[in-house]
Chain A
Amino acid sequence: MTDDTPLREPTFFILSALASGPLHGYGIMGEVEELSGGRVQLRAGTLYGALERLEGDGLVSVAGITQDSGPPRTNYRLTPAGRRRLESELARLEDNLRVARTQLGLRST
């Protein structure tokens, strides 16, 4: 996968959710739903499939294991490579946005 390949929407929101700090699996699911205004709802299978790929590509890593009242939970964090990947996706989206705004004759916000 190259840096200019567009990220799929669930992956984009998972990386965005982790940008503000480490989260465990269910925390990521909740954060993604909140960030997307309820539009993206991750199922557990989708989340762990994405985490497996992201961890394999070095974009996400394990931050540590915590245990409160329930079972032990693994927290995940964005790696520096993950942050760069999210930033490059952001730049790509901003370029697209600028083009569309110009074509529609809209002012930039």
Chain B
Amino acid sequence: MTAFDVALLRLAEWAGLSERRQRELLADARLSAAGPRSGPVRELWSVVGLGLQMRSHRATSGDAVRTFRQGARLGAALALVCALPLIVSASVATNQPALLALLVGPSAAWLAPSAHMARVTVLAAATIGVLELARTGGADPLVITLLLVAHGGLAIGDGEPWRSTGFGMRCATLTVVALGALAGLATVLDPSVVEPAVQVLGAGIIPATLLLVGRLDPRLAVAATSVVVARFGTFDRADLAALSGGGADVGPVVFRCLLMVSFVAAGALASRSAIRHHASL
């Protein structure tokens, strides 16, 4: 078996195709990939699209309310992950690691829609932890504890979900390693690089990517919208004072509001279009 065969079969299994259909898909994808107008990457990408659509349809049956509820819950979990660096900083400043552990662990498990998603959430927290570890030069024992808890949670996973999600876990683990290496490199080259990078990932790239993939799985479009609302819609006292003409600079707050409104509109359109797309043959 080639690497293409293995990747395709894993994706087809993740999509939920029966074993018979997995074999047929592989045979046809091999022939198609060898043709002049296709290729292995295009074939693999088409199976990724198939998987996103089938999994979403299976979970929601194309029902708009179920789609919204699942997307919003996933968005809440992602927003929690985006907030983790702030929680870490605050709990370190107030020397309350127990509070942090009590807050983050149950929240992640409660917000995640499934055991699988709980693990992904915790893994994402570990990613942020690695970046935070790189930023602080590895001296923060609290972040190390977080990482240990996160990876411990992943390893403990119960039998069947663990087996069926093994492929996703391996991809996610590789992502953590790659991000950690990049963050470490960035810290060595320029210590000021890492924190803005985390913010760009959390507030820009991740929601935008989810919105694009939301064309195939509308739950992700809803999740992306929730993240942006959570990220830009949280106003502190200074923001409210600026909005009510308290003398502070109103520009950044208005910019955030505009960004939020545009993203909500884009998210609503993407979700609606994806739900309709799923309803048609």
By a beta-carbon cutoff of 8 Å, the part of chain A in contact with chain B is 1, 5-8, 11, 24-26, 29, 41, 43-54, 57, 59, 70-71, 73-74
Q: Is the CB of B281 within 8 A of A57?
A: yes
Number of B interface residues at 8 Å Cβ cutoff, please give it.
26
Q: Is the CB of B280 within 8 A of A43?
A: no
Judged by a CB distance under 8 angstroms, whether B27 is at the interface is yes
Q: Is the CB of A54 within 8 A of B281?
A: yes
Q: Closest approach, in angstroms, between the C-beta of B173 and any C-beta of chain A? A: 25
A15–B136 CA distance with the chains assembled, in angstroms = 60
| Known contacts A7-B281, A8-B280, A41-B37; is-contact A47 B27 (Cβ 8 Å) | no
Which B residue's beta carbon lies closest to that of A46? Answer: B46
What string of 1s and 0s marks CB contacts (under 8 Å) between B8-26 and chain A?
Answer: 0000000001001101110
In order of increasing CB-CB distance, the 7 nearest A-B pairs are A45-B46, A43-B46, A44-B29, A45-B47, A45-B50, A49-B50, A25-B28
Judged by a CB distance under 8 angstroms, whether B87 is at the interface is no
Q: Closest approach, in angstroms, between the C-beta of A5 and any C-beta of chain B? A: 5
A41–B29 CA distance with the chains assembled, in angstroms = 13
Residue among A1, A48, A59, A70 making CB contact with B50, cutoff 8 Å:
A48
- Kindly identify, within residues 97 to 136 of chain B, every residue whose CB is under 8 Å from any CB belonging to chain A: none
Q: Closest approach, in angstroms, between the C-beta of A44 and any C-beta of chain B? A: 4
By a beta-carbon cutoff of 8 Å, the part of chain B in contact with chain A is 17, 20-21, 23-25, 27-29, 31-32, 37-38, 42-43, 45-50, 53-54, 279-281
**Chain A contacts for B281, CB-based, 8 A:** 1, 5, 7-8, 11, 50, 53-54, 57, 59
**Chain B contacts for A59, CB-based, 8 A:** 281
**Chain A contacts for B29, CB-based, 8 A:** 43-45
A52–B51 CA distance with the chains assembled, in angstroms = 12
Q: Closest approach, in angstroms, between the C-beta of A41 and any C-beta of chain B? A: 6
Q: Is the CB of A25 within 8 A of B24?
A: yes
Which B residue's beta carbon lies closest to that of A74? Answer: B24
Q: Closest approach, in angstroms, between the C-beta of A93 and any C-beta of chain B? A: 15
| Known contacts A52-B21, A52-B54, A74-B20; is-contact A47 B280 (Cβ 8 Å) | no
Q: Is the CB of B280 within 8 A of A26?
A: no
Q: Is the CB of B280 within 8 A of A44?
A: no
> Can you list 11 A-B contacts with CB-CB less than 8 angstroms, sorted by A residue number?
A1-B281, A8-B280, A26-B32, A29-B32, A43-B45, A45-B29, A45-B50, A52-B17, A52-B21, A57-B281, A74-B24
Q: Is the CB of A45 within 8 A of B25?
A: yes
Interface centre among A43, A46, A52, A73 (most CB of B within 10 A): A43
**Chain A contacts for B28, CB-based, 8 A:** 25-26, 29, 44, 47-48
| Known contacts A5-B281, A26-B27, A48-B25; is-contact A43 B38 (Cβ 8 Å) | yes
Q: Is the CB of A1 within 8 A of B279?
A: yes
Q: Is the CB of B37 within 8 A of A44?
A: no
Q: Closest approach, in angstroms, between the C-beta of A13 and any C-beta of chain B? A: 12
Q: Is the CB of A46 within 8 A of B49?
A: yes
**Chain B contacts for A57, CB-based, 8 A:** 281
| Known contacts A8-B281, A26-B32, A70-B27; is-contact A44 B21 (Cβ 8 Å) | no
Interface centre among A48, A50, A73 (most CB of B within 10 A): A48
